[in-house]
Amino acid sequence: MAQRTPPSATATATMSSRFVPPAPTSIQETGLGMGFLSDLAIKILYFEGSLQGREIAEAMKLPYTGVVDQVLEFLKREKLCEVRGTSGFAESSYQYVIAEKGRAVAREALERSNYAGPAPVTLEDYTIAIQRQSVSDIVVHQRTMRQALAHLVISEKTFARLGPAVNSGRSIFLFGHPGNGKTAIAEAIGKMILGDAMYIPYAVEVGGHVIRVFDNVNHVPADAPPERNVDPRWVRIQRPVIITGGELTLETLDLVYDPNNKYYEAPFQMKANGGMLLIDDFGRQQVRPRDLLNRWIVPLEKRVDYLTLHTGRKIEIPFNVLIVFSTNLAPRDLVDEAFLRRIRHKIEIEDPTWEEYREIFRRVCQAKGVPYDEQGLAYLIQEHYLKRNRPKRACHPRDIIDQLIDTARYLNVPPTLSKDLIDRACEAYFVEI
């Protein structure tokens, strides 16, 4: 028997060995057995009742010729379905209906799994695809970084450290006082990564179990013309940028098994493969930070993760993620030396200087339509920062101007940097702790 050729061996190659999964021309090339594919097809027919051959192929996300036609031929031979008319001359136009025997087989298949969507790819092919589309292959230069972060006011010191951190494709630990732009910086990096595209499968098969990978919430289809002869089980998306915060638990970092539908949902880090995973407000999750960090030690060091099926079987998946931890808590209160050693880049996002604060304030005034006034800003700094020994944060200009605009609307006066409006805005915004 000829050995099946994995997608990587025949993928379209460019100077960067770009991965493009070729469409299978036979059942053998799908990596799936006839038993799995026939179960999937009969479940689809069971739910729909009657479908044309090409409609079954579309539901399975497999080519009709050479693959789905062979599956349907098997189902007919086993008297699990039959042909009831046609709307054209091609075999793909034949109308298939499930037979009574097929209904019984479908119910047995549904006892094992209710999954009746796109045919999955093998774990082996998924692993090859992620390795071929590594986030580490994305190279960022100074000019690109400046364009991506142009809407933010960032010190040269911080800027110089962010570029190498992104190019590492590994891990970044952003820390500092709240309101200084850690999340905004991470999101800007994510948008920069989104400029590239990659292929991910709708689902992955492991020992007869299905893990659903693609979802419409976390994955955005790439805005590009479709390529020819691509395996339809793969969808071309923008590199994923997944943000999770206080809802993160240890359970959500493993396979999520649906006992009713009897298939799995991929965890955050698997859905983020090839892109970025931002752990926002790190340290404020329901689980203890140290427990969460211990969960990441092996993936960060070995670049692989181990997930557990409900049967107890462990599977190895690639961990090819730029993972960003963002926290306003002191690192010493969250992590130990062993973990920090595994984090490639530790970057403190410091309070803005007065010069940076002025630039942020000027940009906010321009964006919000409030006339910028140096004297008004000088009054704000003197009366509400220096006299009160109040720390400045990068978010203050935006929040104060928003407060000022709300107050001006209430008083039915134009929003300006007058002393009265500044005082009212600051009294409503700042709370002494």
| Residue 416 domain boundaries | 354-429
- What are 29's two structure tokens? 């090339």
Asked if residue 234 and residue 159 are part of one domain, the reply reads yes
Report the number of distinct structural domains present in the chain. 3
- Phi first, then psi: give them for residue 122, nearest 5 degrees: -75, 155
The reported pLDDT for the residue numbered 329 is 80
For residue 382, give the CATH number of its domain.
Answer: 1.10.8
Residue from 231, 207, 201, 208 nearest 40 by CA: 208
Asked if residue 194 and residue 102 are part of one domain, the reply reads no
In a structure prediction context, what are the per-residue pLDDT tens digits for the chain, which is 433 residues long?
334 444 433 333 333 347 999 999 999 999 999 999 999 999 999 999 899 999 999 999 999 999 999 999 999 999 999 998 877 678 888 999 999 999 999 999 999 999 999 999 999 999 999 999 998 888 888 888 898 899 999 999 999 999 888 888 778 889 999 999 999 999 888 888 767 889 999 999 999 999 999 999 999 998 877 778 999 999 999 999 999 887 888 888 999 999 999 999 999 999 999 999 999 888 877 788 778 878 888 888 889 999 999 999 999 999 999 989 898 887 777 777 777 777 778 899 999 999 999 999 999 999 999 999 999 999 999 999 999 999 999 999 999 999 999 999 999 999 999 999 999 999 999 987 5
User: Is 378 a member of any domain?
Assistant: yes
Which helix (H) or strand (E) element contains residue 86? strand 81-86
For 226-303, list the strands marked E by DSSP. Answer: 234-238, 241-244, 256-258, 263-265, 276-279
- In sequence order, which residues have a C-beta less than 8 Å from that of residue 378 and are 6 or more positions away? none
Asked if residue 244 and residue 363 are part of one domain, the reply reads no
The reported pLDDT for the residue numbered 350 is 93
Asked if residue 359 and residue 344 are part of one domain, the reply reads no
Domain limit, last residue, from 298, 332, 348:
348
Burial tier of 241 (Cβ tally within 10 Å: 0-12, 13-18, 19+): buried
Asked if residue 267 and residue 231 are part of one domain, the reply reads yes
Across 404-419, b (16+ Cβ under 10 Å) vs e yields bbebbeeeeeebbbbe
Helices marked H in 305-353: 331-334, 337-342
User: Is 20 a member of any domain?
Assistant: no
Q: Residue holding tokens 């403190």? A: 348
Domain limit, last residue, from 290, 324, 348:
348
- In sequence order, which residues have a C-beta less than 8 Å from that of residue 238 and are 6 or more positions away? 194, 196, 197, 219, 220, 221, 222
Asked if residue 272 and residue 174 are part of one domain, the reply reads yes
User: Is 51 a member of any domain?
Assistant: yes
Asked if residue 368 and residue 299 are part of one domain, the reply reads no
Asked if residue 135 and residue 108 are part of one domain, the reply reads no
Residue type, 335: V
**Integer Cα distance of 139 and 130 in angstroms:** 17
For residue 91, give the CATH number of its domain.
Answer: 1.10.10.10
The reported pLDDT for the residue numbered 433 is 59
User: Is 11 a member of any domain?
Assistant: no
Asked if residue 323 and residue 253 are part of one domain, the reply reads yes
Residues in the chain: 433
Domain limit, last residue, from 116, 137, 164:
116
Residue 211, beta-bridge partner list: 204, 264
The reported pLDDT for the residue numbered 7 is 43
User: Is 94 a member of any domain?
Assistant: yes
Q: Are 212 and 266 in contact (CB under 8 A)?
A: yes
Asked if residue 315 and residue 212 are part of one domain, the reply reads yes
> Residue 285 in 3-state DSSP?
coil
Asked if residue 87 and residue 44 are part of one domain, the reply reads yes
The reported pLDDT for the residue numbered 266 is 96
User: Is 181 a member of any domain?
Assistant: yes
Asked if residue 243 and residue 104 are part of one domain, the reply reads no
